Amino acid sequence: MRAQAIEASLEAVAARVGDPAPQVYARLFALAPALQTLFVRDTDGSVRGQMLQQVFETVLDLVDGDHYGGTLIASEWVNHQNLGVPAPQFALFFTAMIDAFRDILGDDWTPAFEQAWASVTAQVAAIIEQRARQTPA
């Protein structure tokens, strides 16, 4: 059920706007303007697009049994800190992405989409929390 709702929401967003990266990153940078400086060399948006694609693949894995997604999120949490992303802002990407999807779909954003994405967000938060406990201060 959750996997179907996530897939359906991604398909609906793609049908509406094609590539949602501009909306997702605009939302992210509105929430955390300092993060935009980390993309100064991404002049054509390809890095942002690739990152978003990897997030989609990871989320789809999480909702389909978590074969690698949880491990990838935990390692990327550490990698992003090494790139200068403050630990609390890592999960902000998911908030920005979901908010952008809500905006894109408007009235077509369903309670099932909301519930499925809230579940993914909680799962990501749990992965990060567990990883944070394992990381020396």
Q: What local confidence, expressed as pLDDT, does residue 79 receive?
A: 84
Q: What local confidence, expressed as pLDDT, does residue 38 receive?
A: 86
User: Largest Cα–Cα distance of the chain, in whole Å?
Assistant: 45
Class of 2-134 in CATH = mainly alpha
Is the CB of residue 24 less than 8 Å from the CB of residue 96? yes
Other Cβ atoms less than 10 A from the Cβ of 135: the count is 12
- Give me the tens of pLDDT residue by residue for the chain, a chain 137 residues long: 899 999 999 999 999 999 999 999 999 999 999 889 888 888 898 989 999 999 999 999 999 999 999 999 999 988 888 888 877 788 899 999 999 999 999 999 999 999 999 999 999 999 988 888 886 65
Domain boundaries, the chain: 2-134
Burial 27-43 (b: 16+ CB within 10 A, else e): bbeeebeebeeeeeeee
Q: What local confidence, expressed as pLDDT, does residue 132 receive?
A: 82
Q: What local confidence, expressed as pLDDT, does residue 40 receive?
A: 84
Q: Phi and psi dihedrals of 136, rounded to 5?
A: -65, 145
Q: What local confidence, expressed as pLDDT, does residue 88 receive?
A: 78
Q: What local confidence, expressed as pLDDT, does residue 67 receive?
A: 94
CA gap 9, 22 in Å, rounded = 17
CA 118 to chain centre: 12
Q: What local confidence, expressed as pLDDT, does residue 136 receive?
A: 62
Q: Judging by beta carbons within 10 Å of its beta carbon (0-12, 13-18, 19+), is residue 89 exposed, middle or buried?
A: middle
Q: Which two tokens stand for residue 70?
A: 């949880």
